[in-house]
Each structure stands twice: as structure tokens, then as C-alpha cells.
Amino acid sequence: MPKKDIGSMTLKEIENEFSSLGQPKYRAKQVYQWLRKGVSSFDEMSNLPKTLRESLCNFFDIRSIKIKKRLESRVDDTVKYLYELYDGEYVESVLMKYHHGYTVCISSQVGCRMGCSFCASGLYGLTRNLTAYEMLAQIHTAAKDNNIRVSNVVMMGMGEPLDNFENTVRFLQLVSDGEGLGIGLRHISVSTSGVVPGIYKLMEYGFPVTLSISLHAPTDEIRDKMMKINKAYNTETLLKACRDYIAKTGRRISFEYALIDGVNNSTECADILAHRLKGMLCHLNLIPANPVRENDYSRPDDKEVKRFCDMMNQRGINTTIRRTLGADIDASCGQLRKQHLNQQ
């Protein structure tokens, strides 16, 4: 019988499990509190009897992670991690320092099935979903490794969070629990390439997270070439879901837009994009594209990036250029895992 993933359980679920094992509720609470601190084994739970710790190992897994590779930027203190999971798979995270505190960009899947042409994460397809505890462990490990407190989380690493919906929801519930990391949901961004059914499902939970939409193109003609998901949920369908989300939650949406020279950075693109976003409670985040060896996309120079930003602001769309972090350590998601897999 396979062991159960206790790290991803709620307190009530652990209490039910312990009840079936003849253990009192207070023991379940002790275990839950340790898990919310990010422990990697039952041996660390020092207020539990040794016999109980040994017994729990027979029924439950704590799916901890370990640092396989760590790269620290000499430019801006950004730290990129390649983490090894319990089953030998690998994911990436990035720790970023801002004036308001530390942010961790976490992965939600091993690989990705979305197949976006400008992204290294999906080059090998999807291997599996991450559990809620494996997502939490990325934050705990980075915090412990640097002896800092993480205040913000962005789910923009490897994978599509809304393609791993149940584990993403559980992660959001656990990461905001005051017993552990206690990171408020308003300090968390959930990114999606445009999984429209997932947007509507997330809307029903009413989480005050920031929804980030990887838009990257103003038209279906351009987006079809960049993002396979546009064949399933085109820009009209996606933008309607965004308007419905804003109306239901009152939350501003962030549109991510990777600027690719000669593809989506023309004046015509700015005109169409501004028209389509007009009147929405939104923010446009321009991301100068990172080069990926497997495609021929190139990044516009800084002057072109600023020109596009100015055009969007002049057209009434609140637009900023995302600060580039970790440029000297390949901090964009998927690249470190790709290098490791290619070396095996």
C-alpha cells in the first residue's frame, strides 16, 4: 500500500488519519505544526515519542526536496535553485530580492504540457504534477538556505498552475495558514497561459490572489504561433473570462507580455492590444524575451522595449517593464533543468 502524502494534508485530514491509527487529536496538531514549518522528516518532530515517529514512517511520506544546484547572481543577489524531488525529478525556483522584501518564484509541475514556443519549461513535455507540499518546500528551502523570511510568492516557474488545479488550491490554503509561512493571499500571484475553465473555477474560490495572464500577443494569428493553448481558448474567449473574473472578484489582472523583436512589438500590435484591453481593471507587464536555443526569437533592444511601453501608456493602458533579475545565471524558468537533463 503506497504511503500517503501527509505534508499536503489539512489539519482535519491529519486528525482523521490519526484517529484511524488510535492517536489523539493533539498529536495530529503537533505534526501539522511541524509540517507547516517545512520539516523534511519525522525525526525532526522532537516533541513526538520516538516510537510514534517510527510508526508514522510506515504510513506517511514527507515529500521534501533538496538543493541539487544553486546559482547566485553577482549582479542583484538573485538566487536560482535546481531542486531534486523525492522521486529523482527536478524543478526550479528563483529567489528575488526587492525593496519590499523577498519573493520566491515557484514551479507547480515537473515540465509543462502547454508547449509555448518561447519557453524552455515545456521542451520535454509534462512529467507530473507537484503536490502542495512540494510547492511549499520550494519556499521553505530557499528561506532556510538564505536565513530570510519570504513575503511574496509568484507561481510563474515551471508548469501551468491551473493545469494542476487541485494541488494549486491546496497550496494556496496551506501557504496562507498562520500556523506556517502565513503569506497572505494578496501577496501571491497565480500565473496561467490561459486555461479558461481554470480561471472560472479559481474565481469561485474568491481567493484575493493576483491573477497573471500570459497573453504575449494581441491577435489570434500571432498567439496561435506562440502558444498552443490559443487553439483551445482563443484571445476573445480568454479576455471574456478575464472580464468576468474582474467583475466577480474586483481584483486587478496582470497581463504578462513577452516582447519578441519583429513578432509582437510593432505599433500595430500596440494599437490592437490597447483596444482589446481598454476599460479593463488591469496592468500590462512587459517582459523582454529571454533567448531559448531551440527557437529563433530575439529580444528587442532596450530602446525598443521602452518605445513599446510608452506607446501602451499613451494609449491608456497602465504598463511597466519587468525588472530583469538574474540575467547572469539564466534565471528564466526551465533553463537550468534543461541543462541538467542534457548532461545526463
Residue 48 sits in a domain whose CATH number is: 1.10.150.530
Per residue in 305-344, pLDDT (tens digit) is 999 999 999 999 999 998 776 566 565 555 665 565 556 5
One domain for residues 213 and 334: yes
Q: Of 61, 85, 106, at which residue does a domain stop? A: 61
Q: Which of 112, 119, 269, 333 is catalytic?
A: 333
Domain range for 45 is 4-61
One domain for residues 46 and 151: no
On whether residue 68 sits in a domain, the answer given is no
CB 132 within 8 A of CB 171: yes
Lowest mean pLDDT among 68-72, 120-124, 233-237: 120-124
Torsion angle defined by CA atoms of residues 165, 167, 170 and 174, in that order, rounded to the nearest 10 degrees = -130
The reply to whether 269 belongs to the active site is no
Per residue in 79-135, pLDDT (tens digit) is 999 999 999 999 999 999 988 899 999 999 999 999 898 887 777 899 999 999 999
Percent of the chain scoring above 90 in pLDDT: 83
One domain for residues 163 and 80: yes
On whether residue 8 sits in a domain, the answer given is yes
One domain for residues 114 and 22: no
One domain for residues 34 and 85: no
On whether residue 181 sits in a domain, the answer given is yes
On whether residue 12 sits in a domain, the answer given is yes
One domain for residues 40 and 170: no
Phi, psi dihedrals of residue 4, rounded to the nearest 5°? -95, 145
The reply to whether 92 belongs to the active site is yes
One domain for residues 33 and 135: no
Strands 79-84 and 90-98: antiparallel
CB 255 within 8 A of CB 283: yes
Q: Of 61, 88, 109, at which residue does a domain stop? A: 61
One domain for residues 35 and 95: no
| Residue 76 pLDDT level (bands cut at 50, 70, 90) | confident
One domain for residues 36 and 172: no
On whether residue 69 sits in a domain, the answer given is no
Q: Which of 29, 56, 38, 139 has the alpha carbon at shortest distance from 91? A: 139
On whether residue 152 sits in a domain, the answer given is yes
On whether residue 67 sits in a domain, the answer given is no
Average pLDDT over residues 131-148: 97
Q: What is the CATH number of the domain that holds 191?
A: 3.20.20.70
Per residue in 35-52, pLDDT (tens digit) is 999 999 999 999 999 999
| DSSP 3-state of 298 | coil
* pLDDT at position 343: 60
- Domain count for the chain: 2
One domain for residues 164 and 199: yes
Phi, psi dihedrals of residue 247, rounded to the nearest 5°? -65, -35
From residue 114, alpha-carbon distances to 97, 201, 234 in Å are 29, 19, 14
On whether residue 66 sits in a domain, the answer given is no
One domain for residues 104 and 12: no
Q: Which of 17, 92, 134, 256 is catalytic?
A: 92
One domain for residues 137 and 235: yes
* pLDDT at position 77: 84
Whether residue 162 is predicted with pLDDT greater than 70 in this model: the reply is: yes
